[in-house]
C-alpha cells in the first residue's frame, strides 16, 4: 500500500471539490491551516529617513493622524515605531503605544485629551531596536465607520524621532488601500501631533514621527 506524506499540504481536493480536512477510518489525517486575515500598513516595513532626539519632557507623546475609508469594519492590531540606527532609544523598554478615535478631523487640541485614551495604552513589547518595532494590542481595537479618524502614538519618556520633510503633505494610502495617513492642509488639518507633559496636543503640518499601524478586517 502506498504511503502519502500529507504534512506539507496547504490545500486539498477530493472528487474535484475543495476540502479543508481529510479523515480516513474516522481519523483526521490532514487539515488545512487556518488563514489569518490580511493586515495592512502605510510604510510596509520600509526604512524611514528620520532623526532621533532626547529632549522632550517626561510624559510626552508623539502621534500621527490616520483616516479610514468607508467599507468593512476594521481593527487596529499593532502600532509600529521606527527607530534609526544610533538612536539613544535603542534598548529602551519602558514606553507605551496607544490610539484614540474621533468622528471629525483632529484639528482642535481642546477637543480631546492630551494623551492617548488610557484604556488603549499598551507597554512596549520588547526593548527598542533599530528599524521597525511593532507592539501588539492585547485586544485589537475596533475602527468602525462611525469614527473614521484615528490618532496612533507613543510615549517614550523623552525619546522621540521625526522627519521634517518626508513623506510630504499628500495623503499616503495603506498597502491595502483601506486607510491612509492623512494629508496636510492649510485649513488646520494636521498629520502629526505632539503633546508635552501636561499640555494639550498641538499639530504640526510637515513632520512625521516614525509611526505606523497594522490594520485588518474585523
Go through the domains of the chain in sequence order and give each one's CATH number.
1-35 (no CATH), 39-217 (2.60.120)
The confidence band for 198, taking pLDDT boundaries of 50, 70 and 90, is low
| Three cell numbers, residue 216 | 485588518
Please give the C-alpha separations between residue 74 and each of 35, 126, 144, 191, in angstroms, as whole numbers.
17, 26, 6, 20
- Digit-coded pLDDT (tens) for 85-108: 999 999 999 999 999 888 877 665
User: What is the per-residue pLDDT for 7?
Assistant: 53
Q: Are 171 and 181 in contact (CB under 8 A)?
A: yes
pTM: 0.80
Pairing of strands 74-83, 192-195: unpaired
Spatial contact of 84 and 160, defined as CB atoms under 8 Å apart: no
Chain-centroid distance of CA 174 in Å reads 11
Tell me the per-residue pLDDT of 122-177, one tens digit each, with 9 for 90 and over: 999 999 999 999 999 999 999 999 989 998 999 998 999 988 665 778 889 998 88
**9 has a pLDDT exceeding 80:** no
Cell triple for residue 107? 484639528
DSSP string, 134-162: EEEEEEEEEE-TT--EEEEEEE-TTEEEE
Backbone angles phi, psi at 192, to 5 degrees: -125, 150
Cell output for 130: 533599530
Which residues are CB-neighbours of 30 under 8 A, at least 6 positions away? Answer: 6, 9, 12, 21, 22
Enter the C-alpha cell of residue 51: 532623526
Phi, psi of 110 (to 5 degrees): -75, -10
Amino acid at each position: 500500500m502506498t504511503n502519502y506524506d500529507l504534512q506539507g499540504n496547504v490545500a486539498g481536493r477530493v472528487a474535484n471539490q475543495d476540502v479543508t480536512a481529510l479523515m480516513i477510518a474516522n481519523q483526521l489525517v490532514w487539515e488545512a491551516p487556518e488563514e489569518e486575515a490580511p493586515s495592512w500598513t502605510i510604510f510596509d516595513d520600509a526604512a524611514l529617513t528620520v532623526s532621533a532626539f532626547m529632549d522632550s519632557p517626561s510624559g510626552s507623546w508623539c502621534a500621527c493622524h490616520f483616516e479610514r475609508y468607508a467599507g468593512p469594519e476594521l481593527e487596529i492590531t499593532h502600532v509600529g515605531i521606527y527607530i534609526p540606527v544610533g538612536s539613544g532609544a535603542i534598548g529602551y523598554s519602558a514606553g507605551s503605544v496607544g490610539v484614540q478615535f474621533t468622528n471629525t478631523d483632529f484639528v482642535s487640541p481642546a477637543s480631546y485629551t492630551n494623551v492617548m485614551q488610557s484604556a488603549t495604552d499598551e507597554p512596549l513589547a520588547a526593548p527598542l531596536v533599530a528599524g521597525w518595532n511593532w507592539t501588539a494590542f492585547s485586544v485589537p481595537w475596533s475602527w468602525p465607520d462611525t469614527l473614521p479618524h484615528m490618532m496612533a502614538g507613543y510615549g517614550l519618556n523623552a525619546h522621540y524621532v521625526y522627519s521634517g520633510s518626508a513623506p510630504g503633505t499628500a495623503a499616503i494610502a495603506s498597502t491595502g488601500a483601506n486607510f491612509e495617513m492623512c494629508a496636510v492642509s492649510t485649513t488646520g488639518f494636521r498629520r502629526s501631533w505632539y503633546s508635552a507633559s501636561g499640555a494639550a496636543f498641538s499639530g504640526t503640518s510637515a513632520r512625521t514621527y516614525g509611526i505606523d499601524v497594522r490594520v485588518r478586517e474585523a
